């Protein structure tokens, strides 16, 4: 089985995390757990981008020192791991991690043939941390932030991106670098075909408030935060450590054949699908194998703002504390489409969890365990042929694994969870159709055995297939369906609580 390296982007820590970023973390966690479950070696990495000018400005308006401000918010991002039951293997903080700075310096030097100094005048959006050409603006404003960029005239280091159009195009069109969904791949190809201008990769240290990594050999400049941040995908693996051989983790997870998958939001596509691969090519490294791009969440029909009114109520840790990590994860996985934005409200989260988890899967497990307790003293009947009327449920059980695998290979979390949900849905339908209590009353012991056996299979399959998506709930479902040493199932206990008041 191949080694699989999965990363999320590093969010700025200019504010506390919101539900939109939880989407990416949960998606990455599902992939990591799924591959681990198949026996693949997996490394799942997340972290925070501390060295952004945005952080410096936000600390200033909060009246707090940059270090204290960055540490405080970065801690809130780190705490999401526990709150959302994430299986993160490695969490890198670009301002504190001792692996990062030497790696960035080595990366910079490895690109030196493509770096040059030049005076530059441009329009800079601090929100995006990037220069915009007038043609890229919407009515003179940043398309992401709807703010007016500020004119900047300064001397910077530039990266010769213009050299890499042909190799980038080749990597993407051959599928060596897979970009999903296809609309995003086409967007990147259009960017490349539109002509790639060299981009600035440093800032005067004075404008950065002294925050950031000094350019090797030019301490008056700091490395541009995007160049710095993108390097995390390899610095955390030990790139630049131990000389030209780099660290052992780097050799294993990046230099060897395997999967190297980045998850990211549509707003940072150009950085990950154009700048980053070009930087890797310039420094003689392998490219990622996959880039998966998600769209954005809105909240109650409005763009999510980290600091706007009600932002606190949209903190994923607060939502998980109130409604449970299972409910938050389930909403993100079940309702957010592969393409297109999704609108988050607490009402939708509660409705989805109650419908499908408490009243759907939870109800099924509870009924089945109770019936096996009542009619068969807690012992699951021996395997029997599928009883009449159980064909659809049997098919849902048998197909779930393949459907989940195919959907996840396509980064389609909604399809993947639909395959798990189908087991619960068909299971409840089957119970309502065959009415096992009538079979018990009528003394149809053989029929009842076959029905209960199929239902026990359904619950066990649901627990197994649910694992990557809702690890906590999956463990509870599996515990309910697993006989003890005496061969008996435990007493029925609700696996989900109802959330609606």
- Chain residues binding Zn ion by CB under 5 A are 125, 127-128, 142, 144-145
Question: Judged by CB, which is closer to Zn ion: 66, or 142?
Answer: 142
Token pair belonging to 133: 């050409």
Q: How far is the CB of 303 from Zn ion (least distance, A)?
A: 13
Q: How far is the CB of 126 from Zn ion (least distance, A)?
A: 8
Q: How far is the CB of 142 from Zn ion (least distance, A)?
A: 3
CA–CA dist 227, 243 (Å, integer): 21
CA–CA dist 188, 157 (Å, integer): 24
Length of the chain: 501
Three-state DSSP at 292 gives: strand
Question: Judged by CB, which is closer to Zn ion: 127, or 214?
Answer: 127
Question: Judged by CB, which is closer to Zn ion: 58, or 365?
Answer: 58
Q: How far is the CB of 54 from Zn ion (least distance, A)?
A: 10
Strands 259-265, 3-7: pairing kind = parallel
Q: How far is the CB of 301 from Zn ion (least distance, A)?
A: 22
Question: Judged by CB, which is closer to Zn ion: 209, or 267?
Answer: 267
Q: How far is the CB of 130 from Zn ion (least distance, A)?
A: 7
What end-to-end distance do the CA atoms of the chain give, in Å?
Answer: 47
Strands, E, within 317-467: which ranges?
342-344
Question: Judged by CB, which is closer to Zn ion: 147, or 345?
Answer: 147
Token pair belonging to 260: 């190297």
Question: Judged by CB, which is closer to Zn ion: 142, or 213?
Answer: 142
Q: Name the strand (E) or helix (H) holding 118.
A: strand 115-125
Token pair belonging to 285: 């490294």
Token pair belonging to 122: 């441009």
Q: What is the DSSP string of 169-233?
A: HHHHHTTSSEEESHHHHHHHHHHHHT-PPPEE-EEETTTTTT-SPEETTEEEEEE-HHHHHHTHH
Question: Judged by CB, which is closer to Zn ion: 148, or 355?
Answer: 148
**Rg of the Cα atoms in the chain:** 26
Answer whether 457's CB lies under 8 Å from 427's CB: no
Q: How far is the CB of 131 from Zn ion (least distance, A)?
A: 11
């Amino acid at each position: 089985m191949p080694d699989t390296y999965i990363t999320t982007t590093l969010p700025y820590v200019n504010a506390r995390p919101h539900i939109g970023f939880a989407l990416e973390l949960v998606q990455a966690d599902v992939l990591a757990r799924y591959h681990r479950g198949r026996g693949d070696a997996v490394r799942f990495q997340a972290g925070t981008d501390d060295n952004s000018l945005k952080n410096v400005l936000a600390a200033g308006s909060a009246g707090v020192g940059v270090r204290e401000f960055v540490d405080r918010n970065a801690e809130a991002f780190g705490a999401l791991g526990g709150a959302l039951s994430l299986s993160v293997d490695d969490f890198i903080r670009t301002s504190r991690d001792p692996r990062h700075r030497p790696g960035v310096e080595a990366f910079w030097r490895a690109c030196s043939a493509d770096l040059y100094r030049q005076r530059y005048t441009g329009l800079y959006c601090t929100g995006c941390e990037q220069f915009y050409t007038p043609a890229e603006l919407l009515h003179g404003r940043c398309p992401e932030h709807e703010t007016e960029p500020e004119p900047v005239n300064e001397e910077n280091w530039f990266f010769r991106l213009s050299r890499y159009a042909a190799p980038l195009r080749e990597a993407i069109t051959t599928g060596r670098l897979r970009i999903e969904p296809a609309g995003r791949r086409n967007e990147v190809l259009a960017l490349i075909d539109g002509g790639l201008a060299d981009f600035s990769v440093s800032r005067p240290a004075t404008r950065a408030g002294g925050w950031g990594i000094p350019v090797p050999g030019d301490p008056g400049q700091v490395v541009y935060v995007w160049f710095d941040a993108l390097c995390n995908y390899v610095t955390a693996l030990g790139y630049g450590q131990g000389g030209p051989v780099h660290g052992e983790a780097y050799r294993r997870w990046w230099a060897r054949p395997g999967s190297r998958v980045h998850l990211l939001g549509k707003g940072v596509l150009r950085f990950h699908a154009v700048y980053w691969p070009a930087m890797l090519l310039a420094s003689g490294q392998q490219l990622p194998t996959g880039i998966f791009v998600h769209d954005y969440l809105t909240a109650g029909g409005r763009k999510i703002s980290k600091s706007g009114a009600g932002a606190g109520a949209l903190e994923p840790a607060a939502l998980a504390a109130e409604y449970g990590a299972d409910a938050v994860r389930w909403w993100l996985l079940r309702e957010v489409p592969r393409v297109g934005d999704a609108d988050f409200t607490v009402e939708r989260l509660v409705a989805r969890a109650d419908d499908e988890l408490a009243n759907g899967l939870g109800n099924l497990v509870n009924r089945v365990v109770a019936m096996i307790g009542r009619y068969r003293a807690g012992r699951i009947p021996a395997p029997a042929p599928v009883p009449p009327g159980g064909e659809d449920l049997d098919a849902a059980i048998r197909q779930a694994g393949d459907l989940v695998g195919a959907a996840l290979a396509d980064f389609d979390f909604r399809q993947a969870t639909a395959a798990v949900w189908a087991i619960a849905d068909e299971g409840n339908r089957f119970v309502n159709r065959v009415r096992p209590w009538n079979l018990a009353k009528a003394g149809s012991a053989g029929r009842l055995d076959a029905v209960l056996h199929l239902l026990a299979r359904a619950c066990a399959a649901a627990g197994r297939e649910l694992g990557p998506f809702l690890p906590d709930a999956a463990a509870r479902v599996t515990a309910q369906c697993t006989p003890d040493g005496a061969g008996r199932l435990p007493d029925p206990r609700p696996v989900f609580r109802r959330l609606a008041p």
